[in-house]
Amino acid sequence: MDTTNFSDIFKSSFIEKTTSFSIIDSLLGIGVAFLVGLFIYAIYKKTFNGVIYSHSFNISLIIMTMATALVIMGISQNVLLSLGMVGALSIVRFRTPIKDPMDLVYLFWSVIAGILSGAGFILLAVVGSVLIGLVILLFANKIKVDNPYLLVVKFDQHAVGEQIERIMKEKTKKFSLKSKSIIQDHEVEVTYEIRVKENDAEIASELSAIQGVRSAVMLSYDGNFTA
């Protein structure tokens, strides 16, 4: 009695039926993925309102869209390749931290656009990306981001501590103490998270003008701070 083993499924006759593909369709899928990736690139660059714009991250959105399309086209054409691809992707670990939720949205958008392009749903990929881009443009222009600042002040504690607190209350919308260090000879270094009024950066100059203040440095940051 003849028995069928698992290896019989992957005989050459079976593989040959799954390895045929159209070069035109493949180039079309990759081309659409590239154009959609460029569209995502342009939307990200236009609507970015973070602290430091990362051009390399933006470029990676285009590459991710095209790479995802390639993966989908490969999986759909070859059973062995699909199994190998699943095994390879299962060991990949992404350790780059994503601090801005919108960056995660753009990554997800790139992956979805690549999947649709690679699967042949070109119209859906184009129309969906255009609609998503319009929504982002619509809301990005209406949202005013109140970026926080870090204010680092070195001063003589006994001489000017109360004056610094008074200026902080007058010149900022809100402030909170993040860290405080006693350096030497009653010299103190404090770090505040502040939100200024109408982008008023004069607070650093006013603090520096106080007798007893060694330095006052004001830095923009993304809201994440580790003491």
pLDDT at 104 (0 to 100): 86
Query: Whole-model pTM?
Result: 0.61
133, 39 in Cβ contact below 8 A? Answer: yes
Tell me which long-range contacts 182-189 makes (C-beta under 8 A, separation of at least 24).
182/157, 183/154, 186/156, 186/157, 186/158, 187/154, 187/155, 187/156, 187/157, 187/214, 188/154, 188/155, 188/156, 188/157, 188/161, 189/152, 189/153, 189/154
pLDDT at 147 (0 to 100): 65
pLDDT at 139 (0 to 100): 84
Rounded CA-CA distance 20/195 in Å is: 61
- Mean pLDDT by 10-residue block, N- to C-terminus, for the chain (227 residues)? 52 49 82 94 86 83 91 72 60 64 88 89 93 89 64 73 73 76 75 72 74 76 52
User: 3-class DSSP state for residue 150?
Assistant: strand
pLDDT at 24 (0 to 100): 84
The structural domains of the chain, ordered by start, are 10-140 (no CATH), 149-220 (3.30.70.60)
pLDDT at 151 (0 to 100): 80
Nearest to 196, CA basis, from 222, 175, 165, 223: 175
pLDDT at 14 (0 to 100): 46
